Structure 1
Amino acid sequence: MKIVVVSDSHSLRKPLDMVLDKHADADYFLHAGDICLDPSEYPKFITVCGNNDYYDYPLEITLNLGKHKLIMFHSHLFSYFKREEKMMKKAKEMGCDIIVYGHTHVAYYEVKDGIHILNPGSIYHARDGRPPSYAIMMIDDQTGEISVEFEFLK
């Protein structure tokens, strides 16, 4: 299963269009908030509400992905202090082993305590000195093994 994950595009259409075209074979397109566009413009993206979104997006979404369950939100919902711990607690309460989040504009992936934690970075503007980015998550249909790769835009 191929899952393309973006976040924090802040009204930019060109990178979203590029991702849709380049990865037409994806099973899912996820947007972790701050799309800042009307939901009718990008219906292929499953999108959550970011702190700059003023349309009717849900604050969080859960998805069953084979042997895994994913929760996605924009991390402005959690205070800065101990944010990752709070996100992990929420995931465990919801029975999820994958967290997808946005807001920080920093690409990040780690597995902690059996939970895959993924921030695709910002497809608009990174805040860590690297180029804008998005992520591709692959889940093996047979084994359930998860791999993540980042794509950095030039």
Structure 2
Amino acid sequence: MKLIFFSDIHGSEYYAKKAIEVLKEEKGDYIVLLGDLLYHGPRNDLPKEYNPKGVIELLNANKNNIIAVRGNCDSEVDQMVLKFPMMSDYTIIVNNDKKIFATHGHIYNEANMPQLNEKDILIHGHTHIPVAKEKEGIFILNPGSISLPKENNPSSFGVMTENEFLIKTFDGQIIKQIKL
């Protein structure tokens, strides 16, 4: 199974379109959205082509290929307009012999780890900073932010295959990678 991870769209129709393009180009099985889908949040500037209604339309058109979790900027009113579930603080995906704990990162993160076994994966967004590392036998991953990257990082997303996680830019550059 090939999973494509995006975090922190923050209402950018421009980057939501890019996410759908990546799903097709990468031949991914599912997009995993790690929260902060529609609203830009009070601490963020407006992202490029801020249009939450356009994001709703794009995501709903691809609802059968989306797994999503709630971010700290997502609310119940967002769930009312989206045609896929996104109000859970986390979801667990089992891919071959690995448990993937997918969350936004504002509750569960490296400082507040969920219960995981060796070689399991914690993947989250929230910080807008790409991460791919192993700590005490657990993989800690963050695809970075698609629309509002921080610390001079480019817009990025994650691609997970059976044995590898890549963090890529939209021009195909691999900025981080780790064998799983």
TM-score greater than 0.5 by the shorter chain: yes
Higher strand share: 1
Moved more, 38-47 or 14-23: 38-47
Partners of 2:166 and 2:71 lie apart in 1 by 23
**Residue 39 of structure 2 is aligned to residue 19 of structure 1:** no
Q: Is the 8 A contact 1:7 1:33 kept in 2?
A: yes
Partners of 1:122 and 1:152 lie apart in 2 by 10
Aligned to 2:165: 148
Deviation (angstroms), 1:21: 2.6
How is 1:54-69 mapped onto 2 (pairs within 5 angstroms)? 54=75, 55-56=78-79, 57=86, 58-69=88-99
Deviation (angstroms), 1:27: 2.4
Q: Is the 8 A contact 1:71 1:91 kept in 2?
A: no
- TM-score of the two chains, using structure 1 as the length reference: 0.80
Structure 1 residue ranges (4+ consecutive) displaced by more than 6 angstroms after TM superposition: none
- TM-score of the two chains, using structure 2 as the length reference: 0.69
**Residue 139 of structure 2 is aligned to residue 116 of structure 1:** yes
Partners of 1:75 and 1:41 lie apart in 2 by 26
Aligned to 1:91: 115
Partners of 1:113 and 1:153 lie apart in 2 by 31
**Residue 33 of structure 2 is aligned to residue 31 of structure 1:** yes
RMSD value over aligned CA atoms? Answer: 2.1
Change (3 A) 1:50 1:135: same
Q: Is the 8 A contact 1:70 1:96 kept in 2?
A: no
Q: Give 1:40's aligned amino acid.
A: N
Deviation (angstroms), 1:96: 7.8
Of 152, 160, 169, 1:129 maps to 152
Q: Give 1:14's aligned amino acid.
A: K
Percent identity between the two aligned chains:
29
Deviation (angstroms), 1:138: 1.4
Q: Is the 8 A contact 2:119 2:137 kept in 1?
A: no
- What SS does the aligned partner of 2:167 have? strand
How is 1:68-87 mapped onto 2 (pairs within 5 angstroms)? 68-78=98-108, 83-87=109-113
Number of residue-to-residue matches in the alignment: 140
Deviation (angstroms), 1:41: 4.7
Q: 5+ unaligned residues in a row in structure 2: which ranges?
A: 39-54, 80-85, 172-180
Change (3 A) 1:130 1:62: same
Q: 5+ unaligned residues in a row in structure 1: which ranges?
A: 140-145
